[in-house]
Amino acid sequence: MADEAKAKGNAAFSAGDYESAVRHFSDAIALAPTNHVLYSNRSAAYASLFRYSEALDDAKKTVELKPDWSKGYSRLGAAHLGLGHADDAVSAYRKGLEMDPNNEALKSGLADAQAAASRSRAAPNPFGDVFQGPEMWAKLTAEPSTRVFMQQPDFVKMMQEIQKNPSSLNLYLKDQRVMQALGVLLNVKFHSPNQEDRDMPEAEPADPPSQPEKKPEPQAHPEPEPDPMEISEEEKEARERKAQALKEKEAGNAAYKKKDFETAIQHYTKAIELDDEDISFLTNRAAVFLEMGN
């Protein structure tokens, strides 16, 4: 029975249906709870779903059940790396290589973990600790614009995943609720379009009502046209800074498309310095950091 569920899980995993793979491996584990291979396989399925916390739990169980099996340490390293625990990932891969020095998967994983550890020491997390601890939930609950989201299970689940693994933020940036929450946590203002800025349907002009013919009245002297409103130097400077910030953003986008991440970061950083109220500059730079593994 356990072998049958395992076979179904392997088939689902090979087909890229990781949710089904998790389900089948869980069924197999229920029937054979001491089989280390089942936990290893489910760890791989969880990692493929970016659910690295669950992947880590299963990897730890794999190593606990079979401490002399090198593949368990490969799962452990991958889960730690997914969670951003680069140093722990390095330790796990090295432990596996002690048992199997020629294992190419472990060598490759170790190289990735060491590179990630080096990058994390060179560049700080762009979001700091905004997703850490109960403070995140307190801020989102206190803010009226995000309080309503706390009643939506899918939003809460996304924020829990981001809290466990900040790198997964890149997966949810298209969700406006997550963007709103990010703005609250970073104390960044969002600009909503004014009602006047929205496209409104134009009504057909009505025929003017007929009026009785009137005798021409004496022409009055026309009122002088008001002088155009003068823009203050501060407002003029602010507009120029916003325009320059948009140019920096466009330059950053161009560099990002060319995979020139360092240049992209420089342009996005300059855009933020020029206009710190536009969150798109911040999220674009965050996407580059995440692409680089930071």
Query: Is the CATH number 3.40.980.10 carried by domain 233-292?
Result: no
Joined together, the tokens standing for residue 283 give 């999220």
Per-residue pLDDT of 105-130, as tens digits, reads: 999 999 988 987 886 665 555 665 67
Task: Say if 2-121 and 233-292 have the same CATH topology.
Answer: yes
The residue type of 148 is V
Q: Please state the domain extents for the chain.
A: 2-121, 134-186, 233-292
Rounded average pLDDT over 194-210: 40
pLDDT of res. 196: 36
Q: Is the pLDDT of residue 222 over 50?
A: no
Rounded average pLDDT over 39-51: 92
Distance CA 266, CA 257 (A): 14
Rounded average pLDDT over 162-177: 77
Question: For all residues of the chain together, what is the average pLDDT?
Answer: 79
Q: Which CATH superfamily is domain 2-121 in?
A: Tetratricopeptide repeat domain (1.25.40.10)
pLDDT of res. 206: 42
Whole-structure pTM value: 0.48
Distance CA 248, CA 269 (A): 9
What's the gap between Cα 54 and its chain centre? 19
Per-residue pLDDT of 6-43, as tens digits, reads: 999 999 999 999 999 999 999 999 999 999 999 999 99
Per-residue pLDDT of 66-100, as tens digits, reads: 999 999 999 999 999 888 888 999 999 999 999 99
